[in-house]
Structure 1
């Protein structure tokens, strides 16, 4: 995936940021779109391919965000585009629950094959990560007959009423939008940088909280991101997730892996759970599953999935045939183009460069993550206060690198490059980010 080399795949800034065409469109956006829809990079994108996005003024940016981890295989991936074109000419929509179609079944078969564990599994599809989380909770409640839902601190699960209640951080996702959903409990998780606990110790702490503050007999499910996304790409201590799964199984609790951001070859494994030896009861997929097309899936143990009565799950657009065709193209490349190997390559090239930034900038307290899901966290070495990363992101954007922020305290830069990014593009992007850090921090 990294063989392509052409002038169009280089960073190039030819106007001020934003340029005149983007400024005109920003005025139109302000008049027509609610202010609640922000923009991190103040430009309008005209086209994109692989790891480069081009704005309406002709500026080209190295994209380290991928639409928040969606275009993992690269923007306008050739195989995805071809699959979409072919499917559009055949069937654009049919409610699968009324008149089924084969691509839906094929994606379910791929998920049964590639999600952790060799037990019998079944899947169904919805439109977004939030919907996948909602449906995972619904199924767990139906299967167990219990009401309570547990999540862990620093997690993010979506923007619907239920999922924004599940988020650790209410602002901005739930501010002023209550009343929120009931029976949601936030337990301490595993954040090695902050808590210093081993996996076993962190699991014991989580279990104590759930025992005492929820009551296991009322607990339907525990929902955890194997690597937390919005929370700042927090990687749990070794042993934490398997220990929690063992506890959940022993107590009749459904344990759900929210792999919306970390799944689909993002971390060097098809699902991040594999890094930790974790075999969840349910796995939630979205973002990178269909190469930019809207699709999300719920995959789980067959006996859990089949506990729902006929008609209890589904939706009009869930598992759209065009999106399913795109997902088939993604899974075919996972198997034929070694996408996990490409994610590992991204880490081999990028992580030492980020470590180099940390050596030069004492504000970078940790470099973490796996594969093409990496992050750096900033703390003031004198005061211990979090350092906001939005100004660093803005400075990098002016030089042609789109980089996202994250973290409960907004003090993390997160990197989600496509697996089509070249080694040279990675080096160029990190060099720009280094200059942006120096500009903002004065180092």
Structure 2
């Protein structure tokens, strides 16, 4: 099933993008022109419930008043100084983020993958300068099915053929093990291992939640074997999984947090690596940086994001409403229309029975019913609405989703 843009106006806007923009994404055929809260509006005034939240970058909803106020106030003052000088919002932001994470230092960057690259550099530097690994021999253990971005280094340890094809030669120094298998991690550690890098919940893979106790075991193993535990919480963190961090679900604190997406409130790119001084304190001037990293505008917004998370209300909403969402989708499993539904907070992965078609085809049907979600890996639909969504809106999405699956099943019959 394909879906054409609803009007000639949107068709023209899409053709312009497809003509002049590189084709590195395959968007749904809708052109968004405005957004507020959980809703986005297209060029022709049709309003949709956003169930993707820009891959969790818009956790707090589009145009959250507290975040807009922080952005507007800073926008009128100063937006960029580079790190050649200090800026007023930088100190309060890194102090607040360090406190949120229970760590001593913060290294801000812009995009999520920049933060992943930064964490890799930090882990190798720690391995050479603190652990005593011989230069050039550092290894980092990663998980099968991982998604940490698409830079050359990061795709070197991906097993997604779409991400890897035609980009060799690849960067060495990574060992891949099955996600969720703590024993495999322990077996892979040797004297040259400096870190274990993982997503506590694999988002791009389809909201894959590891077996209960996995994070606890990884924490015990890494501490005992003297390697860093690095948690990529770029998608899973900052309330998405029903807790501030997905690692909180097992009461685990990693050595290094990698944060991004929602940290910028859906307004500015903002990411960060957060760790104690024995890791991040190894960086010296000139050894790592970014012109825009930690810019005043992003830092002001980031501080407002941290303040929003302070009460725990959004995390609790994510947990409670996520359970409501999951319960509402049970009929999909009962009817055999979905083969699995995975859920962590307001983050769900729904595997479509292949007899009904592809996940993208179901997303087309949802779009026709004014719900926007996104497929991944052909058979999984990801739902990640803003954490400010209401019970009634959850129920609307559930009803539309069941109808979309039912229509697909009817057509197959």
**Please, what TM-score do these two structures have when normalized by structure 1?**
0.86
Q: Do the aligned residues in 1 keep the contact of 2:32 with 2:43 (CA within 8 Å)?
A: yes
Q: Do the aligned residues in 2 keep the contact of 1:264 with 1:271 (CA within 8 Å)?
A: yes
Q: Does residue 42 of structure 1 match 2:29?
A: yes
Q: Does residue 399 of structure 1 match 2:369?
A: yes
Shift of 1:336: 4.1
CA offsets 1:187-227 (integer angstroms, 9 cap, x no match)? 1121xxxxxxxxxxx3113322x14xxxx111121111001
SS of equivalent to 1:421: coil
Cα distance in 1, alignment partners of residues 52 and 396 from structure 2: 15
Cα distance in 2, alignment partners of residues 247 and 410 from structure 1: 35
Other-structure match for 1:154: 145
Cα distance in 2, alignment partners of residues 71 and 159 from structure 1: 21
SS of equivalent to 2:9: helix
Shift of 1:337: 6.9
**Judging changes above 3 Å, is the alpha-carbon distance between structure 1 residues 18 and 166 closer, same or farther for their aligned structure 2 residues?**
farther
**Judging changes above 3 Å, is the alpha-carbon distance between structure 1 residues 36 and 380 closer, same or farther for their aligned structure 2 residues?**
closer
Q: Do the aligned residues in 2 keep the contact of 1:189 with 1:206 (CA within 8 Å)?
A: no
**Aligned 1:31-430 pairs, distance under 5 A:** 31-39=19-27, 41-96=28-83, 98-115=84-101, 118=102, 120-145=103-128, 146=133, 147-171=138-162, 173-190=163-180, 202-208=181-187, 210-211=188-189, 216-292=190-266, 293-336=268-311, 338-360=313-335, 362-379=336-353, 388-406=358-376, 409-430=377-398
Shift of 1:111: 2.0
SS of equivalent to 1:47: strand
| Number of residue-to-residue matches in the alignment | 400
Q: Do the aligned residues in 2 keep the contact of 1:70 with 1:291 (CA within 8 Å)?
A: yes
Cα distance in 2, alignment partners of residues 336 and 272 from structure 1: 17
Unpaired runs of 5+ residues, structure 2, are none
Shift of 1:16: 7.6
Q: Do the aligned residues in 1 keep the contact of 2:141 with 2:185 (CA within 8 Å)?
A: no
Q: Do the aligned residues in 2 keep the contact of 1:95 with 1:316 (CA within 8 Å)?
A: yes
Unpaired runs of 5+ residues, structure 1, are 1-14, 191-201
Q: Do the aligned residues in 2 keep the contact of 1:152 with 1:186 (CA within 8 Å)?
A: yes
**Judging changes above 3 Å, is the alpha-carbon distance between structure 1 residues 158 and 16 closer, same or farther for their aligned structure 2 residues?**
closer
Shift of 1:140: 0.4
Cα distance in 2, alignment partners of residues 391 and 157 from structure 1: 26
Other-structure match for 1:431: 399
Q: Which runs of 4+ in 1 moved over 4 A?
A: none
Q: Do the aligned residues in 2 keep the contact of 1:378 with 1:412 (CA within 8 Å)?
A: yes
Shift of 1:43: 1.3
Shift of 1:379: 4.5
Q: Do the aligned residues in 2 keep the contact of 1:17 with 1:398 (CA within 8 Å)?
A: no
SS of equivalent to 2:93: helix
SS of equivalent to 2:62: coil
Cα distance in 1, alignment partners of residues 26 and 331 from structure 2: 32
Q: Do the aligned residues in 1 keep the contact of 2:100 with 2:306 (CA within 8 Å)?
A: no
Shift of 1:32: 1.1
Cα distance in 2, alignment partners of residues 387 and 439 from structure 1: 11
Cα distance in 1, alignment partners of residues 350 and 17 from structure 2: 32
